[in-house]
Amino acid sequence: MFSGSIPALVTPFRNGEVDEDAFRRLVSWQIAEGSSALVPCGTTGENATLSYDEHYRVISLCIEEAAGRVPVIAGCGSNDTATAVRHMVFARAEGAAAALVVAPYYNRPNQEGIYAHYAHLADKCDLPIILYNVPGRTVTDLLPETVARLSAIPSIVGIKDASGNLARVGTHRLGCGIDFCQLSGNDDMALGFNASGGVGCISVTANVAPRLCAEFQQACLDGDYALARTLNDALHPLHGALFSDASPGPAKYALTRVLSDFPDELRLPMTPAGDSSRRAVDAALEHARLI
């Protein structure tokens, strides 16, 4: 259903407000550069700091600007099940192709609670769901057995896996079937992830290097791993540099280097990337020949 390079879009702010013009330009640039789908209001989009109105406005802007050229996978996660339902119902009405739903964070539910959360979402809204497992942020781990159970629900169509465990790609293939859409949540592991059976990446790096990321993902889908390795070598330092300080600070700084008049502003408690991170980003952009 989904494949290739899918940027987890940053949300640009200017003077404390969502910069709608900058966001529209970002969306159009991503599509022109070859991104295969877009994810607004994910972790990289600082969704935790957005009000409901802002969250919904960003989703609407993304769908409006994409104008059917690529699918939009709306960030709809919450640690409150009722709120996640609300997000999904809105995204479906706006025309989103799917919802990216992170495993409930902070509450620390057990596996049965995680299963019940997603099953309830699927029961209340028929928008396709992509599970999102990122234990480093949520403190809960969406275990393969639970993923297999959830994959039996027709509207749960795939997973963004940021567990860091490549063996799970094979485990999910066996437990969920080969048509279950597996997307990497870690840019630096995307090569191995795809070789193991993944079909793409919901990417931070694609914010900054959309064409290179799209070419890399297409090479993987074509089975041309010699080309994929060459492209991965160009991107590899950037993958690290964009996490050399709290994300998405380095990504927003990088965007100021590759796009004109892009605001380097984050919303507290996030702060701009520090000097050492900026130096790492500059070196990585030069290595990838992006500046």
Active site residues: 132, 160
**Distance from chain centroid for Cα 134:** 11
The CA-based angle 20-22-27, given to 5 degrees, is 95
Distances (CA, A) of 85 to 34, 99, 100, 125, 214: 31, 10, 12, 7, 32
**Long-range contacts for 47-50 (Cβ within 8 Å, ≥24 apart)?**
47/11, 47/75, 47/77, 49/267, 49/268, 49/270, 50/11, 50/18
What 3-state class would DSSP assign to 114? helix
Report the C-alpha gap between 171 and 234 in whole angstroms. 30
Instruction: Fill in the amino acid letter for 213.
Output: C
- Going by C-beta distance under 8 Å and a sequence separation of 6 or more, which residues neighbour residue 199? 2, 3, 4, 181, 182, 183, 221
Report the C-alpha gap between 35 and 29 in whole angstroms. 9
